Structure 1
Amino acid sequence: MGSIYGKIFRISTFGESHGAGIGVVIDGCPAGVTFDSDFVQKELSRRKPGQSRITTQRKEGDEFEVLSGVFEGKTTGTPIALFIRNEDQRSKDYAHIADRFRPSHADFTYEEKYGIRDYRGGGRSSARETAARVAAGALAKLMLAELGVSVSAFVSQVGAIKVVKPYQELDWSQIEENPVRCADPEVAQQMFDYIDQVRKNGDSVGGVVFCVAKGVPAGWGEPVFDKLHAELGKAMLSINAVKGFEYGSGFDGVSMLGSAHNDLFYKDESGVIHTRTNRSGGIQGGISNGEDIYFRVAFKPVATIMQDQESLNKAGETVIVSGKGRHDPCVVPRAVPIVEAMAALVLADFYLRNKSSKLSRD
């Protein structure tokens, strides 16, 4: 329950933080998509732990194995199974919370729902599960690239430190050149220094990831309940630590008048319809309009901090929970490829769904 996403391009993830590994089965991927193993591995390496001193120091290579669905570098149209083995579990680091509920974690809710929980690293509730999403999202990216569609994201805010330039004015080549994955090098350094200080204080801080999908043609999406932005919102809110999602003008749009907010249509020299502004975020009526699709995803401060906090145990007794183990002081640098992966999965699914929504004239 709850481990499957997608209608046609469908994924099912499995595994726990301290189990044998993490995996995903991808069903519905068309045959003939070029499976670039190096690209998939590169995407996983962007998410893996131990990248710098401002990320968790757990050492995982996150090297994946293809168990099925790929032959001679191409997808076969059959279920694709990918598996990533866990290599650096330290289950003893979690023995102290076997009967205690960590503040703002899933410990209490999992206990209430299932009557049992894997306390080692949070088990299924751990962000370790997102490695499987990134692997599947890499394949979705490869399929979308063949259609001329790209998905890219960067860290636009850490704490109160924000990127103020419009995304169109940023040098996106700088994102992978700094450990924070911010497209503004000067702001990136400020963010890094702040996260490092927070880490030294045994605390954590949240942030925002900004994502843009380019090349999405008009017509992807469904009316009413399966609107494109609704599915993007669901996908983003399913990521660990996400507390907010907004697309286009978002909450800032409430302060504008309709006469200023409306995106006016025009035809370019080639006769293609565009909008002069893009406060709609590339989506109108739940369907893409051909402009850039852009949105923001807010992540809370990581719940595990290296400070003593008051909590309760299973018996309802007041106890002190001490932070131990290896944890990110700020999750957003490693969340960038996760956000991209989930957006790519949504778009890949809607591309396939759109193919069956009208009679082909070709």
Structure 2
Amino acid sequence: MNSFGQIFRLTSFGESHGRGIGGVIDGCPAGLEIDMEFIQRELNRRKPGQSKITTQRKEADQVEFLSGIFEGKTQGTPIGFIVWNKDQHSNDYNNLKDVFRPSHADYTYIQKYGSRDHRGGGRSSARETIARVVAGAIAKLLLKQQGIRIDAFVKKVGEVELEKSYKDLDLTQIDSNIVRCPDPAVADKMIARIEEAGRDRDTVGGVIQGVVQGVPAGLGEPVFNKLHADLGHAMLGINAVKGFEYGSGFEGTKLSGSDHNDIFVKTENGIRTKTNNSGGIQGGISNGEDIYFNVAFKPIATLLKEQQTVDRDSNQTVINPKGRHDPCVLPRAVPIVEAMAALVLADHYLLNKINQL
């Protein structure tokens, strides 16, 4: 399954150390003005080598559009694009050809396909998310016309956590530091924690929070394509993600129903709720309040230190991987979380338009 979405649909292709990563976007309405600089900025937020706390693989990640855009506007036809790989060090993976790296997809790919591309993980590499960011950027442009804004930021790195509500933060400051946390003091502590993991030749995980504002009431489906279920599906499909919660999430289980219920009130802006434990979604459908959610990322599995494992012949062996890897995936995953949220919201926006015909 290399496609995502029902109406606004992305099909991606490519491997980490292949010739390139690309995709085809189908279902994007005609006449949408395409801001190429914006799309490239989104890719730059994801690309490797952007700071001292990310992998030092050097890739320009320059997107090249092949179809579907003419004179700066979408044509309603499939939008094809590609980003060429330039800085592969495939030889770094030669010693891993016949061994299974702990917590990677090496073993499971062999079981499913009978073979695998060992160079950087092949199709299982997070480099595949380039296609998601390109498509997500176009989805953002579509949603922007409807007044919908999507932001994500690093909320937690290891034990270092941003305790403030997103409502008390200036979300325009997310990209003001290399870890993408809108609180400068907490950001410094997060950076120090990532640098510590790097010095130890280890990795560290954490949490990204996503916030979607300006969503009208009525997006989502009541049964099998509930809006929160599709968001969960999107987030859990990102490499290294281990958990998803929206609204009050797991903390809400500690409340009584009378404390958790969001009371409806009449305001100058129509019907609203006093609280938002529902996270902007009720019955699988948006209610007009902010949608907010948390995405948990594990410490990435590639460690630059010796580990025990087995090879394809079930022999015990030891690996000591080489290469260039992130000690923490979170700073580069922020635009990926935003992109996947945008794909879901754009899809449901278009689906809702069809339902209203």
User: How far apart, CA to CA, are the structure 1 residues paired with 2:78 and 2:167?
Assistant: 38
Residue 11 (structure 1) aligned with residue 21 (structure 2):
no
Quote the residue 1:325 is aligned against: 323
Quote the residue 2:350 is aligned against: 352
* Structure 2 residue matching 1:13: 3-state secondary structure: strand
Residue 181 (structure 1) aligned with residue 180 (structure 2):
yes
The runs of at least 4 aligned residues of structure 1 exceeding 6 Å deviation read none
User: How far apart, CA to CA, are the structure 1 residues paired with 2:84 and 2:189?
Assistant: 35
Structure 1 residues 96-107: aligned runs within 5 Å? 96-107=95-106
User: How far apart, CA to CA, are the structure 1 residues paired with 2:132 and 2:249?
Assistant: 26
Quote the residue 1:156 is aligned against: 155
User: How far apart, CA to CA, are the structure 1 residues paired with 2:148 and 2:161?
Assistant: 27
User: How far apart, CA to CA, are the structure 1 residues paired with 2:81 and 2:212?
Assistant: 25
Task: Give the structure-1-normalised TM-score.
Answer: 0.98
Quote the residue 1:314 is aligned against: 312
Structure 1 residue 323, shift from structure 2 partner: 2.1
User: How far apart, CA to CA, are the structure 2 residues paired with 1:151 and 1:166?
Assistant: 16
What is the CA deviation profile of residues 150-209 of structure 1, one whole-angstrom value per residue up to 9, with x for unaligned ones? Answer: 100000000011000111001212211110000111000000011001101100000100
* Structure 1 residue matching 2:242: 3-state secondary structure: strand
Quote the residue 2:69 is aligned against: 70
What is the CA deviation profile of residues 56-87 of structure 1, one whole-angstrom value per residue up to 9, with x for unaligned ones? Answer: 00000000001000001100000001110000
Quote the residue 1:290 is aligned against: 288
- Counterpart of 1:171, as a letter, is D
Structure 1 residue 267, shift from structure 2 partner: 1.4
User: How far apart, CA to CA, are the structure 2 residues paired with 1:18 and 1:292?
Assistant: 39
Structure 1 residue 133, shift from structure 2 partner: 0.3
Structure 1 residues 231-246: aligned runs within 5 Å? 231-246=230-245
| Structure 2: gaps of 5 or more residues | none
- Counterpart of 1:49, as a letter, is P
Q: What count of residue pairs does the alignment treat as equivalent?
A: 357
User: How far apart, CA to CA, are the structure 2 residues paired with 1:172 and 1:281?
Assistant: 18
Percent identity over the alignment?
Answer: 62
For the aligned residue pairs, the C-alpha RMSD in angstroms reads: 0.6
Structure 1 residue 308, shift from structure 2 partner: 0.4
What is the CA deviation profile of residues 227-271 of structure 1, one whole-angstrom value per residue up to 9, with x for unaligned ones? Answer: 00000000000000000000000000000000000000011124x
Structure 1 residues 84-99: aligned runs within 5 Å? 84-99=83-98
What is the CA deviation profile of residues 104-154 of structure 1, one whole-angstrom value per residue up to 9, with x for unaligned ones? Answer: 000000011000000000000000000110000000000000111010000
Structure 1 residue 93, shift from structure 2 partner: 0.3
Quote the residue 1:83 is aligned against: 82
* Structure 1 residue matching 2:231: 3-state secondary structure: helix
* Structure 2 residue matching 1:68: 3-state secondary structure: coil
* Structure 1 residue matching 2:193: 3-state secondary structure: helix
| Structure 1: gaps of 5 or more residues | none
